[in-house]
Structures are given as C-alpha cells and as structure tokens.
Structure 1
C-alpha cells in the first residue's frame, strides 16, 4: 500500500492557498495525485471559490482515477464561470475519461465554437468521435488538428489507428504511423504498431529502417523482437528476421544468445549481398562484447576484404583499430584509425577515435593530440550565426550548471562525479543533468535524487539537446564526455550555453572551438605550462577529482609477500594503456628484482588469445612468461577489489596513467608507483599521489621508478604498517574531501562565469 507523504497543516493567512496550489501542481507532475488532492482541498478550505484551484482539483481527481469527484469539481467551476473555455476543456476531458462520450462530444463542440483554432480541441473531439465509430467526422477533425499543429505526433498516430479501424487499409495506416515517427522519432506506440503490422500478408515493410531507428530510441523496448518474431513467423528462413533477432538480443544484453541467429543468417546469405556484411558486422560486435578477440579480429578482417566502398572500408578499419587498442597495440591502432580517416574524412566517428587514440600511444603522440584534434575536428563542425545569450551577466548571482554525460550509472566516472554533486552549494548553484545514455542502474537512481532537473536526452538530436539546454537557461555546461563514445561535439559546437567546460571523462582536447576551458589542476598542468592547441586550463588548487569508494569494498588485508616470501607487483588497468613503453618499464623492475612476480588483470584477458598476445609482447622485453599472473574480468566490484589482496605494490600504466585503478588500489591499501611524463595523461598519477600525500612515489624517470619499487618491496613490515592505516589516511586526504572539493570547484565555476560577464554577451559561433 502506498503511503501518502506528510502534508503540512494549512497556513493561517489566506494568501497561502496559492502556495498550496503550487505544491499541488508539483505533486501532479510527480504523479502523486492523492497528495495533490489533499493539498488542493486545504487550499480550497481557505478560498472555496478559487476557480483555478477548483479546476486543479478536477484535474488531480481525473488523473488519479476519481472520476465522480472530478466531475463534481467541474460542476462547481462551471457555476463560478459558466461556459468558459478552461472550464469546458476540463469538463470534456473528465466526461471522456468517464466514458460519457456523447456528453464529451457536446462539450468539445461547445468549446470548439469558442476556440475554433485550438488543435488540442480538434484532436480530443476526434478521439471521442473515433470511439463512437463516426469515422468521417473523426478523420476531419484529426486532419484539422494537423493543419493547426503539423507536428502533433499523437494526431498522426490516432489517424493511423482510424485508418485501420475504418477499413481504409494497412498501407494508409502505416503512412500515418510513419508520419508520427517523422515528427517524433521516440514515439514508441507508433514503433510498436509498425512492428506488429509486419504480421500482415503483404510482407515485410521497411524492416531495416524500422529496427535501426527503433534501436536508437530505447533498447529496453520489445519493438525489435516483435519485428523479428513477425518476420520469422511469415518465413522461418527469413534472413532479415534472423538479423533483427540478433540485433534485438544484443540490445537487450543477451550477447551470447545473439550469435546463433546471426550465424544462421550468415550461413544462408550470399557473400555479395549487403545483408551479409551487416550480419558479419553485428556478429563481430557481439564477439567484441564477449571478449572473443581472435574471432572478432577475423570478422573485422573479413569485413575489410568484402567492403564495397570507402565508407565500409573506413568502418572495417575502425573495428580493427579498436581491437588493436584493446591489445595495447596503440601504434597499430593509430595506423588503422588513420586509414579509416583517409577513406572517409567526413566520418566524425573515425576522426574523433583517431584523435583520442593519440593519448594511448607515445608521449610524442599525446603531446600532439590537441593540435591534431583542432586540425581535423574543427573544420567538420558547422558554422552558426551570431548567438545572443539572454543569461543575466551578473557575476554574483546563483548559476545554473548543466552536466552532459552518458556515465550517470555504474561507471568509473560516477565515483568521481558523486562527491561534487553531493556537496556543491545548492544556494549558489542549481544543477541540471543531460543524460546521453539509455542504460540506468542503482547509481543513476542516486544521481536522480541529487540532481532535481533531470533530462534524458539519449534519443534527442543534437539540435534538440541544444534547444533544451537553452530553454533551461544553463549558464555553465560541463561536458564529461570529450571524444569518448556518445560524445555530442556537434551540439557543443552550437554553443548552447555562455560557458562550456570540459572535465573528467576525457583528459585531452575536444578540438571544438566553443569549449572555453578544461578543468585540471596544478599537478596535471603546472602553472606556466600550456599544452599546445588545447583548451585553456582552469586549475583546481589540490586535485582535479575527488573520489567516493564503492560501498561494498572488502577489508584491507596484509601484504601477500609476508606469506609468499616474494613481492608481487600488479596492474588492473585496461590493456589499451599498456603501451610498449609501459611494458618495458615494468619489465625493468622485474629484472631488477629476479624473485618478484607481476599480476596483470584486465577485462580483455578473459580471452586466452589476448593472454597469449600479451605474453608475446612481454617476452620481447626479456622477462619469462612464468613470472606473470594474468587475470580476466570480475563481474562484481567487490570481487574485483578483493583481488588486490594478492598484490603488494601497484605499478601505474604509462604514458596514460590510471585514475580509477590508482584510487581503488590505494583504498585497498596497496601503494601505487607512477612514472611522470610531459603531457597531461602521464601526469594524472602525480596528481593523485600528491593528493594522497605521496608525491615521492611519482617518479620523474625510469631509474627513480625502479628505485622506489625496490625500496617498497624490500621493506615488508613497512608495507604491512602502511596498509593497516591506508584507509584512514586516504579518507582524510584532499582526494576524499568532498566538501572541500565542491567548494573549490564552485569557486572555479564562479571564476569562469565572471570571466564571461566581463565579455560581450553575444558571439559568432563558427568552425573557423
């Protein structure tokens, strides 16, 4: 049984009635109808003849299913203001909800005489007439509604339903449903109607386009599965149906199950048929999801051999690049990405992937990344007219801060965003979230509770997202994505907010001229150092992130070397960060300590082929494979962290340092040693260790790195003592001081805002 939230006693002064009605409107928006009714009842006890309040009571009762009470409220409202349009509209809606269709028809017609140009009146009257099976008049009013409001998706949809119900035929109905989707592509009832219509005898209609569009809206819907089942019901050998089934299963997260229908389709389709390549492409993505690296590489190579144009060649090269990066072969990945860009220079996906991959290769590549991004990305961005912002240029007023991200979920970025959102000053800043990912979980629930203005924009176009941000009046937009998957660079290029900052999710340059600053700190970007071509640095004073450890982290254990008699080094970073320079650094440590071992744990090492490839790379540096322990994926965070009990000392990756892994190792009591480079990705370890009070474990060169590792490994009692107090020290460090971090970030927001207030409030946005 749902318990009604406590409703405060009515204030004694009459003007409080309006406040109660305002609270009631909020309760209605939250679908807490009984609470709204109680609030309105209190308000009406103070002002019994309050017309808006009486109509609000009718609406709350109607939406809450209390139809008789709703009609009674309408009657009272009509006594106060006979035959007024707002009263008649609510009365007609209540009559319609009560199935008093003839009365509703008469009321809507009476309202139509008062407001003949209101699309909503024509639409609602048409709905009533359709239920009365008066097909001709109903169609007339639907079409008039669409003359007045061409983008009214519901009217297009209901007109399609009328075509079917009146016997006009499937083809006309489909055209109406398609029109509904053309004006609102996330209108799922229309997708469902189209998918079900595939069961008709005239065959599969637009299946490929339907399922591709539906997939971009919401993977949790059954639309794709309806399409696949309908196609296979008509023809059990339908290759298109098998493809749709595989597509739908992958979107629902049933990756292994998706392989079977795709393999069936591949076995039936001639190689020269376009659907064959589509099936191989999707099959390869599934193999990548499952970590079956060797088979995925074969699939990507097959696609490249079958490619019929430059676009397909580019996509195949991108697949091969991503697979190479998964191996840690960053040089090979760059070659494939470069080939993709050369084949399809207008592919923003290929260009951004190529630019981002520079951070994983050598120090020289990382240093060049901003310049490469500016050179390749900026010319692809559209030019826009002069934009005048309506935001009040008051440097000290409360600000609206928007966060754009696909990681408001169980993701490494969430553990660094959470402390800021929990502790930021709500008097100085109003928070908005623009979630670009459809997946949600328990972490999403936490963010939704903390960010009152939640906008799910994954199905919206770049233009629609920008319009939403402008409509919300955002002062500072914080992009948490950069060049990673799901980026919205085209939207950022339209400058939807006066100030745009890049932070957290990507440490390089976006290449987008409208991004004003990137948030960093004095360790990652020392004062006086500028990364050529990169967005200007806004430096936080202590650390550019704050960390919130997982609640289910297991207890810290003693160093395993006390039991083993030898030190075990470890790294839990992704293989993409294990460059040749990184492996050479680690192998130098192992050579200096012949009795030591090293554990490498990474998601990609689920695949025996990946383990074999990694050991081959290690062998090139002169260290025996027997000294390495390779571990794969752990599904649960607690199980993942528990494996730190088998590691004495964590070695950071280079030249792309770890962030989450450094924080996790430190929380589990495992000391981290990092090698510092020139570009920002190779200085993250220095930043984190400085925040933890251990800058001495960030080595400036290889010999110092080896010396630090030897010193730690030869003092096991010191390690044991350090582990026993690690969490207390980390919890009291700047890295976990959420309130302090939120305060300094707030000051940085204010600094950026004051900078904008000192400049003209209109700019010309152009890719040049």
Structure 2
C-alpha cells in the first residue's frame, strides 16, 4: 500500500499492521524522505539501501547496505548503522537497451578527448586539480564537460579560473549543455576517448552510462562512500585496473590508455557485452544477495530477542 499520502504516524501504523519484518529505506536525507517512519521503529529490522551516500545518523536505523570496496572496514566509524557488506557490488542496472550502439572513432587529427558528464556541482577544486595534472601530462588532450549547467557563465568562469591557475589554457576546455533527447546524450559518449571521474563525490549512474557506451572510466578511490561508488561499479564490471589510489597513478593510467588507441578500440568493441555478463547487469544475483541478507538480519533479531527474554 502506498504511504506517500500518510503521515509518519499513520505510515508506522500501516507497516506494523502489515507485519513487515524488514523495512528498507532508500532516500536517506534526500528531499521528501520518510526518515520519520524509521525513527518511530516501524519494523523489527530497518535498513538503508542505495539511495543515499552517507549515514542516516538514526539510532533506529539498524543497517547500512554496502559492499567491501564501497565501505571498507576502516570506514565503519563513518556510520551510526551497522555496515552490512554484500558479497558483490551493491549496484546493478538493467541493460540500457534504448541506448545507441558504441561507434567511437579516433579523432582524425589525433586529438585526445577526455570527458566528464557528471553534474558540474560535483566538479570542484579536487577534481580540477587532478584533471589539470592529466592535461599537463597530455598536451594534445582537450577536456569536454557536459551537463545542463555547463552553459552557465558563472559555472564556466569558476572552472576555467581554477584550470588557468594550473596552467591549463581555456581553449582546451569545451562546455556542452544538455541534449534534447536521452539517446543524443548517450551518443555523446562516442565523442570522448576516456572518461575522468570526479572527486570527492564520484560517478554512480553517470559512471554506468559511460561504461555502457564502452567508454573507459578512470577513478581515484576516496576516503568516504561518496568517493568510492565508481570503484564499486568497476569492480562489478571486472575492471579493477581502472581504479587507482593516488593522483600519480591516475595520470599514469590515463596516459597509458591515451597512447594505446588499439586497446581503446578493443574496449569500445567489447565492453558492452562484458557488462551484460557482469555483476552490473545481473539483477537476479543482487536479489539473491539481498534476500540472504534479509534472512540473516531477521534471524539475528530473533536471537537477540530470545537472549533479552532469558535475561
């Protein structure tokens, strides 16, 4: 039964009436969330999954669902919830069957096109300083930034000023606005050679889009969940070699790909099929992992209840 028209108190009453054992919350602190329902302990086991990039901070939220790469054990202290790690990436997506086919070709004049289609509010100084190192190492490269905010003059000024301070000339930067059609947006990936991930908040949906179009995506793992999403995606794809730990390695791997057009062509021709057979497009595998976690969590609740009753 939909609860969007119910108050938090009414929603809790409905959930309890329905005898829900495991309640899954997917919004975190995003707009129109229902954390008030969680705070009222609507179900024996309450868990957050996939919709937010940080702890909810609620004492009544029992678990936060991640995976070993997304949330390593040393980051458990970032969460008020108990971190539950799935035995695979926590991400999965249906194949984007309406997307155009990969049809990348090298630039006829040998120009290298680096790109990011991330929300430009995520492209802050950390990203620009990292990307400027790549641009200095590859003087033949241009940086293509595509987002609905890309044609905003204040956004362009902010980005160009930062890059100029790093000795990157504005002529090397292209700003592309939103496409009229989703298919055109996806087709734009055929016009870039390598996708650069943003930080400290990196790619999730945007990363999947790039990978589906056959675009190599290079990511630098961060020190928080928001900066490790692309690493989880790439692990699920089987491309751990595109995950790096520091800026020097980031520059090195982008440079290596830049100088190997044969490898990049092979990637473009094979990556979509690789994704189809990977964890990233295996919804049943994710469903089984989640189902097993539900059962274990509920069993743990029953065991704790029995112990308290004995006391």
Per the normalisation by structure 2, the TM-score is: 0.94
Offset of 1:528 from its aligned partner?
A: 5.6
Offset of 1:689 from its aligned partner?
A: 1.0
Q: Which residue of 2 aligns with 1:713?
A: 258
Moved over 6 A (4+): none
Distance 1:470 1:664 in 2: 39
Distance 2:177 2:254 in 1: 25
Q: Deviations over 1:528-572 (max 9, x none)?
A: 6523443111101120111113331001012443x2412111111
Equivalent position SS for 1:496: coil
Distance 2:140 2:77 in 1: 41
On the 8 A contact 1:552/1:637 being kept in 2, the answer is: no
Q: Which residue of 2 aligns with 1:622?
A: 167
Counterparts of 1:210-225 in structure 2 under 5 Å? none
Offset of 1:739 from its aligned partner?
A: 1.4
Q: Which residue of 2 aligns with 1:379?
A: none
Q: Which residue of 1 aligns with 2:52?
A: 506
Gaps of 5+ in 2: none
Distance 2:32 2:175 in 1: 31
Distance 1:702 1:534 in 2: 31
Alignment equivalent of 1:654, drawn from 199, 204, 225: 199
Alignment equivalent of 1:544, drawn from 78, 86, 90: 90
On the 8 A contact 2:63/2:82 being kept in 1, the answer is: yes
Q: Deviations over 1:284-323 (max 9, x none)?
A: xxxxxxxxxxxxxxxxxxxxxxxxxxxxxxxxxxxxxxxx
Q: Which residue of 2 aligns with 1:338?
A: none
Distance 1:697 1:602 in 2: 23
Distance 2:112 2:218 in 1: 14
Alignment equivalent of 1:521, drawn from 31, 45, 67: 67
Q: Which residue of 1 aligns with 2:242?
A: 697
Offset of 1:460 from its aligned partner?
A: 2.3
Greater Rg over alpha carbons, structure: 1
Distance 1:725 1:528 in 2: 36
Alignment equivalent of 1:484, drawn from 18, 22, 30: 30
Distance 1:620 1:750 in 2: 54
Q: Deviations over 1:72-123 (max 9, x none)?
A: xxxxxxxxxxxxxxxxxxxxxxxxxxxxxxxxxxxxxxxxxxxxxxxxxxxx
CA RMSD of aligned residues (A): 1.7
Greater relative contact order (CA < 8 Å, ≥ 6 in sequence): 2
Counterparts of 1:329-478 in structure 2 under 5 Å? 454-455=1-2, 457-478=3-24
Offset of 1:491 from its aligned partner?
A: 1.9
Counterparts of 1:4-403 in structure 2 under 5 Å? none
On the 8 A contact 2:55/2:78 being kept in 1, the answer is: no
On the 8 A contact 1:521/1:544 being kept in 2, the answer is: yes
On the 8 A contact 1:573/1:601 being kept in 2, the answer is: yes
Distance 1:490 1:596 in 2: 49
Q: Which residue of 1 aligns with 2:271?
A: 726
Q: Which residue of 2 aligns with 1:680?
A: 225
Offset of 1:465 from its aligned partner?
A: 1.7
Equivalent position SS for 2:90: coil
Q: Which residue of 1 aligns with 2:76?
A: 530
Q: Deviations over 1:659-707 (max 9, x none)?
A: 1111110100000000012222222222111111111111101000000
Q: Deviations over 1:258-307 (max 9, x none)?
A: xxxxxxxxxxxxxxxxxxxxxxxxxxxxxxxxxxxxxxxxxxxxxxxxxx
Q: Which residue of 2 aligns with 1:497?
A: 43
On the 8 A contact 1:559/1:647 being kept in 2, the answer is: no
On the 8 A contact 1:519/1:538 being kept in 2, the answer is: yes
Distance 2:283 2:41 in 1: 30
Equivalent position SS for 1:600: strand
Equivalent position SS for 2:77: coil
Distance 1:529 1:688 in 2: 19
On the 8 A contact 2:27/2:52 being kept in 1, the answer is: yes
Q: Which residue of 1 aligns with 2:294?
A: 749
Answer yes or no: is 1:558 the counterpart of 2:74: no
Distance 1:670 1:738 in 2: 22
Moved more, 476-485 or 629-638: 629-638
Alignment equivalent of 2:184, drawn from 630, 639, 643: 639
1:620–1:463 distance in 2 versus 1, CA, 3 Å: farther
Distance 2:140 2:153 in 1: 26
Alignment equivalent of 1:581, drawn from 126, 131, 139: 126
Higher helix share: 1
Distance 2:83 2:193 in 1: 36
Q: How many residues align?
A: 307
1:733–1:533 distance in 2 versus 1, CA, 3 Å: closer
Q: Deviations over 1:713-757 (max 9, x none)?
A: 100111011100111111111111111111111111111111111
1:623–1:635 distance in 2 versus 1, CA, 3 Å: same
Distance 2:248 2:99 in 1: 34
1:602–1:472 distance in 2 versus 1, CA, 3 Å: same
Alignment equivalent of 2:213, drawn from 668, 672, 675: 668
Offset of 1:604 from its aligned partner?
A: 1.5
Offset of 1:622 from its aligned partner?
A: 2.3
Higher strand share: 2
Distance 1:620 1:466 in 2: 54
Distance 2:78 2:287 in 1: 29
Offset of 1:621 from its aligned partner?
A: 2.6
Answer yes or no: is 1:758 the counterpart of 2:310: no
